Amino acid sequence: MKTEKVDIDFDNSIGPWLGKTAKIVGYHLQEEFTRAGLDITKEQMVILKKLYERDGLAQNELAELTFRDKSSLTRLISTLERKGYVRRVRCPEDKRVNFILLTEEGKTMWQNAKPVAQQLIQRMRTDLSEKEVDQFIETLRKIQGSLKHSEPARIT
């Protein structure tokens, strides 16, 4: 089998730029939450948002919607439960299934975190036109679509 050598300029490829940008956004969001006195992380906020939109999701469904593996989601839910933001309810028909419900405190936390996140989103868009934002989102959708429907590349 003949292998073809592929040279990639990592400094100018999409992946590292996406990863670095995601880390910077996460850092700024955490700073803003801390400054606002909110006891929440970006990952926890994502869970609260999904539950605010569709409360009572099954834990497996929540894992799919948030692109998390089951064990990391379990740890995240345990933390949210300790903070009083969510509670687990076992499905009476299938004891293996847990439904995750927002508490009143969780709803309040989401309502407090939402404007902080919205403010950061506005800051990110400061130097971009509406057209640039739309094009960027469309480009990211294409990248996600390309990866979603393909097998991971095998290194030879």
- The per-residue pLDDT for range 48-95, each reduced to its tens digit, is 999 999 999 999 999 999 989 989 999 999 999 999 999 999 988 888
Local structure of residue 97 (DSSP, 8 states): -
CATH topology of domain 10-118: Arc Repressor Mutant, subunit A (1.10.10)
For residues 48 and 84, the answer to whether their CB atoms sit within 8 Å is: no
- The per-residue pLDDT for range 27-42, each reduced to its tens digit, is 999 999 999 999 999 9
3-state SS class at 78? helix
The predicted pLDDT at position 22 comes to: 93
- pTM here is 0.82
Q: What is the DSSP string of 34-68?
A: HHTT----HHHHHHHHHHHHSTTEEHHHHHHHTT-
